[in-house]
Amino acid sequence: MSFSTDFVSEPSVRRGRFARGFGLLSYSLLLAAALAQTPASPEVVLGLPELFRLDRLPVFKNSVEVGSISSYDRTGGNDDGFSGKYSFIREEKEGLFIADLKGPGIIYRIWTPTPSDDWVDFYFDGEASPRIQVQYREMFLGRQAPFVSPLVGYGGGGFYSYVPLPFSRSCKILIRAKRVQFYQVNYALYAPGTPVESFNPLPNPRYLASLAQAQKVFLATGSDLSVQAAPPLTRNELLKNTIRLGAKQTGLLFQVDKPGRIAGLRLYPAAALAGKARDLVLKISFDGEGPAIWCPAGDFFGYAWGQPAMKSLLIGASQGGAYCYFPMPFDRSARVELVSEKETGQPVEISAELVFNATPRSALEGKFYAGWRRENPTADGVPFTFIKTRGRGHVVGVVLQAQGFESGKTLFFEGDDQATIDGKLVIHGTGSEDFFNGGWYDVPDRWEKRISFPLSGCLGYDKHLGRTGGYRLFLGDAYAYQTSLGLTIEHSGERNNIPTDYCAVTYLYAADRPSDYLALPPAKERRVNDLQEVVFPAWWQTPIHAWSFNNASLERRSEKVGQEEVRFLSLKATGQDWFGAPFLSLTCEVPAAGAYEILIEAMKGPGQAQVQLFQNEVPVAKAVDLYQASRAKSGRVSLGMMELEEGKNNLMLKLPGKNEKAAGLALDLIQIIFRKVQ
């Protein structure tokens, strides 16, 4: 079999500094010229074409080794880049080498949450001078060729590059710095003699045309990519159906009784698949075999805790519907069903579109599988397992929902991912959000909110709900295995000792049915678990909806009380607000609608006021007096009961007066507690 990487290697130009000597303007001019005279493309297998030839996702990989170099703590601890102790493979006078690979091979992914302004040099094939020189940070900002957007990007605390960097004999990466922190480099190696051509700093028209195609496909994330999911120069057929599905019913969406492949599947409306019960199941079978896809429908499309949460290149929710563009080849037949396991309720109407292509599965392609797996709770001392299987295939995506059992704590997300391929541990990550191309959870403007990119993203980060999660798709960097695969992720920084509710979907292509994980548990074991008590530390990141701007001040403070350092949000008033009593209104999110008891923990002291909970300008209960002659924590104090909506609610706390002995009018608020009572 022949291979093409759409690269050339000419000795006359191999010493060019891509980043310094060949700017983005020249690069753009060459790209425009290439698009005007794009040559007929040969069969593409490796490199850039893997980013846009989505039809080739089912094809078995020809790599002999898939691996990653990272800064993980070799002792099993959690120093995965903080100190920089494990963030290089060797130190020389020029700086720190972070990779030294022997080819032929391709670097498919580079990630870091800690880029710097230091220079990075890429050396190819034993050459004395680097072919690429670029500032570390600029590698991810999309302003410096060949690292162009959206093949590179940043967000969620992480910086990533999916620009393939092929090397014929070797590739070394040097960072000219005294200290490097977190990083991961994913690669694949190929058999000797595989004609992988090393990266050329002066791109030819074929390379530029491929680059343009990859950019175009990535920019189309969330739109119809069924053409890219089907073999070139073949015809797609759009099939449509609408069903009305009642409780405990199975609806047949599509039955295809001839060879071919599914190039796209869309379900409308997206809201019909939502719900915490996870009792609407997508079931897809090929060739009369058992279900290849047997998942809660929402979770299959990247929903998180019952709601749409993901818009990736190949799967997610967008424009009012849920979509999937993973190619699904089969030999004889395909059957697509929706199964309602609801006990009661009104029927729901669901419209479906299936893009069918009559190209049958080839001997070089695997069948598509998607398995749902949950550990609730995770096992003490054992990482969570995405998949453990035997045979031949490659993983092309995972989605993880992680739910803690205690409000305000997400330390389980310190855990590392690990991949054992063909009996050998070849990938060891540096942290859970790192695996999903993010970084620094619970830090403002980083891994703190839902965010989607073509190949990765954050499903959400809600510290008060004890939950977060992410997704990652694999194209050229797919985890290919010949005999076996085990993919896991830890649920703590060390020792897997934080019990957690982990739930995941794994997408893969395989020669045979995965060996141990496709069975779906009963509906009662699939339901989203909501915390019954939610705690908001007022001194940290609880959003402030409004507060008294008149005759008042607001600040975060800390104070030593006995042996404890207590942090709190301090509202101090010197008189009335324009509209009455001084107030503080916070925006607090609860996981489910219902009746809640509202409690606070605050500081007592000689300057503390009375505090009272209001709703629609009506007191919910009597005011609580926080006056005390000496400073101390109040413990939990109930302010009353309220009916709350699922999601965000504004909580109004007023200071209606003070004890006659009090020297001030203040509220030093430590935390707010919502306890669900029904």
| Burial class of residue 344 (count of CB atoms within 10 Å of its CB; 0-12, 13-18, 19+) | exposed
Which CATH number is 11-219's, of 2.60.120.1390, 3.30.230.10, 3.40.50.300, 2.60.40.2470? Answer: 2.60.120.1390
Q: In angstroms, rounded to a whole number, what is the distance separating the alpha carbons of residues 61 and 478?
A: 8
Tokens encoding 582: 């001084």
Q: In angstroms, rounded to a whole number, what is the distance separating the alpha carbons of residues 590 and 380?
A: 29
Per the CB < 8 A criterion, the answer to whether 169 and 103 are in contact is yes
Residue holding tokens 């089912």?
Answer: 58
> Which backbone phi and psi does 545 adopt, to 5 degrees?
-75, -45
Look up the CATH superfamily of 222-364: Protein of unknown function DUF2961 (2.60.120.1390)
Please report, for the chain, the start and end positions of each structural domain, with discontinuous segments joined by +: 11-219, 222-364, 366-524, 534-676
Q: How far is CA 598 from CA 270, 637, 672, in A?
A: 34, 9, 7
The 10s digit of each residue's pLDDT in 514-545 is 987 778 999 999 999 999 999 999 988 788 99
Q: How far is CA 86 from CA 49, 80, 94, 96, 115, in A?
A: 34, 7, 18, 11, 16
Q: Which residues lie closer than 8 Å to 375 by C-beta, 6 or more apart?
A: 384, 385, 501, 502, 503
Three-state SS at 20: helix
pLDDT at site 26 = 52
Taking the CA atoms of residue 70, residue 76, residue 78 and residue 83 in that order, the dihedral angle to the nearest 10 degrees is -60
Q: Which residues lie closer than 8 Å to 65 by C-beta, 6 or more apart?
A: 188, 189, 426
- SS3 of 577-595: ECCECCEEEEEEEECCCEE
Tokens encoding 146: 């060949």
Tokens encoding 35: 């698009």
Per the CB < 8 A criterion, the answer to whether 407 and 464 are in contact is yes
Task: Give the containing element (helix H, strand E) for 384.
Answer: strand 384-390
Report whether CATH 3.40.190.10 matches the domain 366-524: no
| Cis ω for the linkage preceding 104 (within 30 of 0) | yes
Per the CB < 8 A criterion, the answer to whether 329 and 360 are in contact is yes
Tokens encoding 344: 């009661």
Per the CB < 8 A criterion, the answer to whether 674 and 611 are in contact is no
Q: In angstroms, rounded to a whole number, what is the distance separating the alpha carbons of residues 325 and 319?
A: 15
Q: How far is CA 442 from CA 356, 410, 461, 542, 626, in A?
A: 43, 9, 8, 12, 31
Q: In angstroms, rounded to a whole number, what is the distance separating the alpha carbons of residues 451 and 302?
A: 13
Per the CB < 8 A criterion, the answer to whether 56 and 394 are in contact is no
Greatest CA separation for the chain: 90
Tokens encoding 363: 């001997």
pLDDT at site 12 = 29
pLDDT at site 516 = 79
Instruction: Give me the residues paired with residue 265 across strands.
Output: 324, 354
> Low-confidence residues of the chain, pLDDT below 50?
1-17, 19-22, 25, 33-42, 44
Per the CB < 8 A criterion, the answer to whether 388 and 486 are in contact is yes
Give the pTM.
0.92
Q: In angstroms, rounded to a whole number, what is the distance separating the alpha carbons of residues 383 and 91?
A: 33
Tokens encoding 370: 């998607």
Are 11-219 and 534-676 equal in CATH topology? Answer: yes
Classify domain 534-676 at the CATH topology level. Answer: Jelly Rolls (2.60.120)
